[in-house]
């Protein structure tokens, strides 16, 4: 992107767990915290190049990963995770995609180094 001198956008995928801790998920949490550190550092290093670098931080999203992990297949666990979000529900992949599209758009032209939470109020609890 820099070589073409046309700017550009990079959107990294982190997680709401990149902003907080979560019991029994230390490897995942550490990796997602690392993504946020990389995002912020890369934004600083590329700010003058026209390349914007941000991250999206989804809450718990209705995906096969949650099914395989037993979160959505166990009604009691699902309810507990849903209730951890202020909106009392899981997010959808489309909601995350919409945030990424916005970050890539000209409407976000002054946004860089941001960790955008798309987490249904998980961090507000």
Q: Is residue 58 part of a domain?
A: yes
What pLDDT is stored for residue 124 in this prediction? 94
Give me the catalytic one of 13, 22, 26, 28.
28
Q: Which residue in 1, 44, 15 sits closest to 118, CA to CA?
A: 15
Q: Is residue 72 part of a domain?
A: yes
Return the minimum-mean-pLDDT range out of 7-16, 21-30, 69-78, 105-114: 69-78
Q: Is residue 1 part of a domain?
A: no
Counting the structural domains of the chain, the total is: 1
Q: Is residue 81 part of a domain?
A: yes
Q: Is residue 117 part of a domain?
A: yes
Task: Give mean pLDDT, residues 8-16.
Answer: 97
**28 part of the active site:** yes
- Give the residue numbers spanning the domain of 56: 8-124
Rounded to 5°, the CA angle 23-62-66 comes to 45
Residue 1, pLDDT above cutoff 80? no
Q: Half-sphere exposure of residue 71, counting CA atoms within 13 Å on the CB side?
A: 15
């Amino acid at each position: 992107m820099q070589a073409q001198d046309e700017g550009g956008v990079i959107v990294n995928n982190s997680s709401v767990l990149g902003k907080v801790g979560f019991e029994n998920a230390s490897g995942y949490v550490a990796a997602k915290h690392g993504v946020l550190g990389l995002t912020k550092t890369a934004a600083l290093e590329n700010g003058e190049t026209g390349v914007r670098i941000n991250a999206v931080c989804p809450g718990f999203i209705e995906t096969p990963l949650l099914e395989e992990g037993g979160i959505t297949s166990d009604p009691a666990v699902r309810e507990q995770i849903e209730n951890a979000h202020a909106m009392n529900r899981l997010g959808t992949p489309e909601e995350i995609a919409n945030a990424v599209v916005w970050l890539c758009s000209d409407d976000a032209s002054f946004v860089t180094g941001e960790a955008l939470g798309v987490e249904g109020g998980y961090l507000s609890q």
